[in-house]
Amino acid sequence: MVPVVVSAIVSYRGLPRTVACPNCTRDTALLRPRAGFLGRAVLRFLRLQRRWCLQCSWTGLIRKTVAPAAVAVATGDLKPGSAQLLDVRSLRLDGRTWRVQLQCWEEAHLCHGRLVFIDVSGRPWPDALQAFSARTQLEVLGQALSIPDRALASRLRQLIMAD
């Protein structure tokens, strides 16, 4: 009995925590469980979802995580010379989960921002490729959010290789 329980716990903890496909990192679609009322209740209790990747046809279970709190962004909340970090998303790369944040600051009546990747130990990896700039912090955040996951993964790999 003990080996079965330990195996179940290890398997559960090994499930992916993001809605991105573990094979190709594309977004996945939620599938409706076919196990009937009891099966749906068990999946809901264990906080599991059945997902399907449209790109590579992967089908599997993921663990639902609590979504991060939405970041309230006002257009004029930065004081000149100050910097602020905003959560952009999480990224899974080579089996590790990275937080992607946007460091924003205001300079010469423009808002600027650059991406910062945070590893599991909390070490920041600032992106050296390009800084964003726009008239408002909301526009800078929009630029950061528009970068596809594959491009972010490529930037992060370049940072890791350069270290």
- 116 burial type by CB count under 10 A (0-12 exposed, 13-18 middle, 19+ buried): middle
Nearest to 61 by CA among 70, 76, 51: 51
pLDDT at position 65, please? 63
Taking CA atoms, 144 is separated from 84, 107, 163, in Å, by 14, 18, 23
Predicted confidence at residue 67, as pLDDT, reads: 45
Summarised one tens digit per residue, pLDDT across range 44-71 is 888 888 888 877 888 888 887 654 443 4
Is this prediction's pTM over 0.85? no
Total Cβ atoms within 10 A of residue 113: 25
